[in-house]
């Protein structure tokens, strides 16, 4: 059975590619999903890709991931900077967790510099555009192959 990688996206990421291209680029979330699915197939991974604007849904998906995800890749959007609840849900997971940000949050407003999620993540990728999702997938594929 192929290992399942759960890729979660938080608030406003459904707007990717539709506004603020100077910060977030031109690719839509559907483009990102297609690229992740194609790479996942190449790497022998099953990809579950989800987005919600609702914090509680993200938390429920993280809880389900405890049962069936070999790794979690998460772009929590602005909830990175505010959500102790997402931090706590991730802390309850034993699998590798990669936090991805399309933009370089450290070059932006002060309120984006801190992420509760980073405290629970195995690693963080920021500022590499949507390519960050693909790098995260390659990283977890390597980790899982080494297990």
Residue 92 tokens read as 């309850």
Q: Give the binding range for ligand CA2 (CB under 6 A) out of 29-37, 44-52, 62-70, 99-107.
A: 99-107
Q: Please say if 106 is a catalytic residue.
A: no
Among 112, 131, 138, 139, which residue interacts with ligand CA2 (rule: CB under 6 A)? 112
In the complex, what is the shortest distance from the CB of residue 21 to ligand CA2, in angstroms, rounded to a whole number? Answer: 8
Q: Tokens representing 29?
A: 């979330």
Q: Does residue number 122 form part of the binding site for ligand CA2 (CB under 6 A)? A: no
Count of residues touching ligand CA2 (by CB under 6 A): 16
Return the DSSP state at 32.
H
* Helix/strand/coil for 114: coil
- Nearest-approach distance from CB 108 to ligand CA2, in angstroms: 7
Minimum Å distance from CB 106 to ligand CA2? 11
The answer to whether 105 contacts ligand CA2 (rule: CB under 6 A) is yes
Which of 30, 54, 78, 92 binds ligand CA2 (CB under 6 A)? It is 78
The Cα–Cα gap between 101 and 77 comes to 7
Q: Calculate the CA dihedral of residues 34, 39, 42, 48 and round it to 10 degrees.
A: -70
Number of H helices, E strands in the chain: 5, 5
82 phi, psi to nearest 5 deg:
-130, -25
Binding site for ligand CA2 (CB under 6 A): 12-13, 15-16, 19-20, 24, 75, 77-78, 80, 101-103, 105, 112
């Amino acid at each position: 059975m192929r290992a399942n990688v759960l890729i979660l996206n938080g608030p406003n990421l459904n707007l990717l590619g539709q506004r603020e291209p100077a910060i977030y680029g031109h690719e839509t979330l559907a483009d990102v999903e297609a690229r992740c699915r194609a790479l996942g197939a190449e790497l022998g991974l099953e990809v579950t890709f989800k987005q919600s604007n609702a914090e509680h849904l993200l938390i429920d998906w993280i809880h389900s991931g405890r049962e069936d995800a070999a790794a979690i890749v998460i772009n929590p959007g602005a909830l990175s900077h505010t959500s102790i609840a997402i931090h706590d849900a991730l802390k309850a997971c034993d699998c590798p967790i990669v936090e991805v940000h399309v933009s370089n949050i450290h070059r932006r407003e002060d309120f984006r510099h801190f992420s509760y999620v980073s405290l629970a993540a195995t690693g963080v990728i920021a500022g590499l555009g949507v390519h960050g999702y693909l790098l995260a997938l390659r990283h977890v594929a390597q980790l899982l192959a080494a297990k």
